[in-house]
Structure 1
């Protein structure tokens, strides 16, 4: 029951954006959404999720991971039900933002509790791999299932599916996970100022590129947002360095296992979000594929994400966790490069890119997250899991913002108003190429940094002490 509930939480995180992506053109036509508005239908969730995860991770480590997760699942169910009443783009963006709050309350605890079930790395990898498999099935099946649903039902149904998932997760966690005991938590005061500054930094950094496109470089708004983001980041670092009880102890980030794992997760999150956004629009709006056929076009990703879990354990035994993390990250970068260079030549190259990125994501999602938690003390596991998910979600938002902003900058007119003129078709294809190259360069830089940090891993001891087996119910829990 414990792992079933935790798996359902991760299923929501992975399924949510993936199942919505294939519906973006339909949503745009139904609600009359602009290019920027369409970007923020997915981006609002990501920005709020990424911005609040560290704060809720720290809060959970202090006041109970199980309690915060249960409250978040109730909020998720209610927000998902509200989707059925949405009639405007602004309403949909608001609902997505509330769902981001719920995700920030629930997701970090799933990895943290799974990690704490065992003290041996092999068993930890197997448990996290199981949870990841369930979630990645949602990521993989989401576009395919979403395309078929759109052929027989309105797009709102795609978000209502979160209601039964939230109910399943609530039952599994409520009945299968024991409440936190005082010795499993720490009572340091919560760093509210640090949480606000961290959230502001992330939100402002993701809003600024969109404002440059909407308002233009001559407007004061995008420049003000950029300066405010830099100022908030500087104040956040200063706060965490000087606070007696910081939200995030910056010394934890200096450990090679932690910093390299976060870099690899960040690269994978950016790649899968940016590639999925561009490919979905390319297949439907440029190549004219209907949603059902476009969903079939994502099948290479589906197959790799579902079947790839079986390869993680033998690969780990052969290469080790540290080496396997950077090897899988390089596959992600290679997939982006293939799409940037050859994706316009035909679907075969799009499929190759999807396979490479999905294969890399499938492996790095398990091993990099495990490495981060291996490098942290036991009473910081939820903030550690929040770090992992924040790295992934923030760069997911960056990937969407980068791809969407470049598309909005190059494309003139409404992107959902088809058929396009020949000039608009050329603008779209140029934007896709530039966006794919930008994603490749940024992801490659993150992976390169992670590889450099990985080389220091063997020379730096873990910050996490050895501990007895911690289980939700009993030492025999799976």
Structure 2
């Protein structure tokens, strides 16, 4: 099996499975983490946001570094960083330690994931073999998101929340040990400029971090406070500097010429809003099910299971639908289903029937979120030059991650402020939490509704088999 390409796929897919699993597995553990380490209601979101922000912020730089320094080498480095920070996060003693470690864990993912995808691309010839490999890769990534909530529930209820991080350690160590046996080293052979756009990565991540922190601080300080205004203005200034650096760089992290493509521009917006709605829904619903409805972590994970099954089914059906109807109608229908699902879910309370409100909402949202993402991912790369396809895929993926962080910050800040306002008027705590959950999901539904408008302006394309395979990975 030495250097067999399908053994290579097994190693790469398992690593990606671990990275995706880590996004969802954390959500069901949030109430236990909050109670054990003393997180505030507004600070708890950083357990999710720190990971996602660094992952999205350095994803493009990770891909560039893999091409120049060696894809297998960066893959192993990312695995080791991921494993070490998982061990350290499992031993964290206070909120600050856990947030910092989650951020570094996201950096490990930003090195690991694009390197793995690049290895996948150069290992398999374009056509049937690569399509099969990408289908397996995309399918296992989706399965990781679904199983994450159940695995998280099992670990939290049986061993404690720390094991949602510790479980990654033996997997990362084992993969790092076998990678040299099954994965060939490769790197870019282009004779062009071999430089890193470190300034671009730092400016973009610092700018986004400043804006996210400004939104979160608005909950306690007020939107017009000096601190909040300074953070938001500073973040915008850093992002403006990022655009300036990219426009002058010989090897930009984000080639600005990509945004001349209407398909890519609308897709980045659509996937960013998709990420915002998804992360916020997952965060709020996991807390609601445990703190309001009194479920265990495992019971919470099982209640998310219908959404995961719906999402996997939607990935298959929506891929077939875009070949028949084109990307725009499917994207429009997906956005509409997402809105309906979130509105149904927002009507849940402390005692109502799961089968009548929560489950239908989760199923419709699971279908809609994938039916929106798949055609958007196809449209993103359809009219981009072949030599910029990798950069376009990176921009789309980073847009989803960053949109998720910003959306989560806005929605949880609004929801927390509403809960505190209700408590100040004498509302019973449980009713106040229900009110915050409802308010947060209504904002998420508003984001999903904007996606309906974006779908109307998106191009209508009928994808090729290769574009469908790329979309399976991106979605």
TM tier, shorter chain?
A: 0.7 to 0.9
Alignment check: 8 A CA contact 2:54 2:103 kept:
yes
Partner Cα distance (1:114, 1:377) in 2: 20
Q: What residue in structure 2 maps to residue 178 of structure 1?
A: 184
Q: What residue in structure 1 maps to residue 380 of structure 2?
A: 372
TM-score using structure 2 length = 0.85
Q: What residue in structure 2 maps to residue 476 of structure 1?
A: none
Q: Are 2:457 and 1:449 aligned? A: no
SS across alignment from 2:158? coil
The structure showing larger relative contact order (alpha-carbon pairs under 8 Å, at least 6 residues apart) is: 1
Q: What residue in structure 1 maps to residue 445 of structure 2?
A: 440
Partner Cα distance (1:113, 1:332) in 2: 34
**Residues 446/127 of structure 1: CA separation in 2 closer, same or farther (3 Å cut):** farther
Equivalent residue in structure 1 for 2:126, among 119, 122, 145: 119
1:362-386 residue CA offsets vs partner (Å, 9 max, x unmatched): 4555554354344444554443332
- For residue 173 of structure 1, report the CA deviation from its aligned partner: 5.0
Partner Cα distance (1:398, 1:278) in 2: 15
- For residue 206 of structure 1, report the CA deviation from its aligned partner: 1.3
TM-score using structure 1 length = 0.85
Q: What residue in structure 1 maps to residue 268 of structure 2?
A: 262
Partner Cα distance (1:19, 1:410) in 2: 27
- For residue 389 of structure 1, report the CA deviation from its aligned partner: 2.0
Q: What residue in structure 2 maps to residue 359 of structure 1?
A: 367
Q: Are 2:178 and 1:192 aligned? A: no
Equivalent residue in structure 2 for 1:226, among 214, 218, 232: 232
- For residue 124 of structure 1, report the CA deviation from its aligned partner: 5.5
SS across alignment from 1:288? coil
Alignment check: 8 A CA contact 2:57 2:204 kept:
yes
Alignment check: 8 A CA contact 1:53 1:104 kept:
yes
**Residues 184/137 of structure 1: CA separation in 2 closer, same or farther (3 Å cut):** farther
- For residue 243 of structure 1, report the CA deviation from its aligned partner: 3.1
Q: Are 2:37 and 1:31 aligned? A: yes
Alignment check: 8 A CA contact 2:65 2:196 kept:
yes
- Aligned-residue Cα RMSD (Å) equals 3.2
- For residue 35 of structure 1, report the CA deviation from its aligned partner: 0.8
Q: What residue in structure 1 maps to residue 428 of structure 2?
A: 423
Pairs within 5 Å for 1:42-81: 42-81=48-87
Q: What residue in structure 2 maps to residue 280 of structure 1?
A: 286
Partner Cα distance (1:171, 1:372) in 2: 36
Structure 1 unaligned spans of 5+: 416-420, 467-478
SS across alignment from 2:26? helix
Pairs within 5 Å for 1:229-248: 229-248=235-254
Structure 2 unaligned spans of 5+: 1-6, 468-475
Q: What residue in structure 1 maps to residue 301 of structure 2?
A: 295
Q: What residue in structure 2 maps to residue 101 of structure 1?
A: 107
Partner Cα distance (1:267, 1:195) in 2: 22
Q: Are 2:412 and 1:407 aligned? A: no
Q: What residue in structure 2 maps to residue 384 of structure 1?
A: 392
Partner Cα distance (2:144, 2:428) in 1: 37
Partner Cα distance (2:325, 2:94) in 1: 51
- For residue 189 of structure 1, report the CA deviation from its aligned partner: 2.7
- For residue 45 of structure 1, report the CA deviation from its aligned partner: 0.9
- For residue 159 of structure 1, report the CA deviation from its aligned partner: 1.1
Alignment check: 8 A CA contact 2:313 2:367 kept:
no
